[in-house]
Amino acid sequence: MTVNRRNRDQSTSNEHKMIDIQYEIQKLEADLEFHTQKIRLIKHTLGEKNEKLSLLMKGDVFLRKMRDQFRNGFKGERNEK
């Protein structure tokens, strides 16, 4: 009967180990889902900021062109007088 008790204890121990392992797997899956969602949010925010930056850069290019045309216009007028 000692063999039976040992097998039962071993079986119970194995079940506890399996439960612990399953808990760790579920915890890791939850962590993975959290980080996946966080990555999506960061990508979305980054996309919005890139769009805003792109618009600002286009405005900057436009303003620089206007500045250059304005400066070149005055240089031309000075040379003509």
Q: What is the largest CA-CA distance in the chain?
A: 119
Residue 12 CB partners (closer than 8 Å, separation 6+): none
Stretches in the chain below the pLDDT threshold 70:
1-5, 75-81
What pLDDT digit, counting tens, does each position of 32-43 carry?
999 999 999 999
pTM over 0.75: no
